Amino acid sequence: MPSPEPSGVKNKPIFRLDKVSKQWSGGNGFALTVPALTIGQGEKVALVGFSGCGKSTLLDLLAMVLRPDSATEFAFIASQDEPLDVIKAWGRKDLNALACARMLHMGYVLQTGGLFPFLSVRDNIGLTRQGLGLPVKDAVETVAKRLDIDRHLEKLPGQLSVGERQRVAIARAMAHEPSVVIADEPTASLDPINAEEIMGMFTSLVDEYHVTLIVATHDWRRVDERGFRRVEFQLKQDATDGIVRATVCG
């Protein structure tokens, strides 16, 4: 297994996690531990592993929609901003502070869906900008053009192909120029050719906007070529309680 990038990250960090853990008890219990993970600003990170290895759990933790059980440190340091102590915000149940940070600094691309079927493509892409009170029109058209969906702006998502919908989802995650975009298997439901094309557009857009990208994928091959840093998971089933313990290494 190739060793990951050196632990000293060149850029300023955007995420700094130390001993973060999340556990689900029960018969098919699962526990994820992040011993230490620092993600730098502008970095492209791929969470690589089989399904069920904890990729989505880690993404949700990073997206601040899943509460960690414990953490020594969990900081989200968006550009031009004070670091947000995520574990402290969870502790005081300040969900709005987390939501607010998401809206200002994050974009999220789901594997499928996640678009509002009752909003036009234009309104879907511009939603976060609207929520922030930013001007919508030009930014939406620019990002739509870059993803080659500008001719679909007035359509509803239901009128688009799956591939086109994923482009809309990427456009929505990017339109408000966030610091970090989190994508959960964004091309898994696409055919290889489409997946290749969309992933190419996505990464070049991310490079252009200087956005940190965190992608969960089981597509091992192209990750290194595109300049991603790999983050992998070590799985081990506990013989005594049957809980699958995943440890993040990267």
Partner 1 sequence: MRLNRGEHKHGLETVIRLSLKDYFHERLLSACAVLGLAAVLAPLLLLFGVKSGIINTMADRLIEDPRNREITPVGSGRYGEEWFSAAAKRPDVAFVIPQTRSIAANMVLYNGEGERPHSVVVDLIPTGENDPLLEKWGHIPKNETSVALSNTAARKLNVTIGQEVIGRVGRSVAGIKEQVAIKLKVVAVLPIEAYPREAAFVRLRLLEATEDYRDGRGSEAFGWPGQARPTGPREYPSFRLYARSIYDVTELRDTFFEQGLEVYAKVEEIEVVQSLDRSFTLIFQLIAIVAVFGYFASMASNVLASVNRKSRHLGVTRLIGFSTGNIVWFPIVQALATSILGTVTAICFYLIVEVLINHLFSQYLSAGEYVCRLSLGHLTVALGFTVTMSMMASAYAAFRVAKIEPSEVIRDV
- The correct pick among 110, 235, 243, 244 for binding partner 1 (CB under 8 A) is 110
- The correct pick among 24, 50, 116, 220 for binding partner 1 (CB under 8 A) is 116
Closest to partner 1 by CB, 4 vs 83, is: 83
- Phi, psi for 249 (deg, rounded to 5): -125, 125
6 binds partner 1 (CB under 8 A): no
Residues 167-186 that bind partner 1 (CB under 8 A): 184
Contacts of 231-234 with C-beta under 8 Å, sequence gap 24+, read: 231/4, 231/37, 231/45, 231/46, 231/47, 231/48, 231/58, 232/1, 232/4, 232/47, 232/48, 232/49, 233/47, 233/48, 233/49, 233/53, 233/54, 233/55
The site string for partner 1 over 186-225 (x = CB under 8 A, - otherwise) reads ----------------------------------------
- The correct pick among 32, 46, 87, 127 for binding partner 1 (CB under 8 A) is 127
Provide, rounded to whole angstroms, the least separation between the CB of residue 115 and partner 1. 8
- The correct pick among 101, 174, 180, 206 for binding partner 1 (CB under 8 A) is 101
**Count of residues that bind partner 1 according to CB under 8 A:** 37
Closest to partner 1 by CB, 65 vs 160, is: 65
Residue 226's Cβ-count burial label (10 Å; 0-12, 13-18, 19+) is middle
243 binds partner 1 (CB under 8 A): no
Gap between the Cα atoms of 13 and 24, Å rounded = 29
- The correct pick among 21, 23, 79, 111 for binding partner 1 (CB under 8 A) is 111
Provide, rounded to whole angstroms, the least separation between the CB of residue 96 and partner 1. 4
Q: Rule CB under 8 A: which residues touch partner 1?
A: 56, 60, 63, 65-66, 78, 81-82, 84, 95-97, 99-104, 106, 108, 110-114, 116-119, 123, 127-128, 130-133, 184
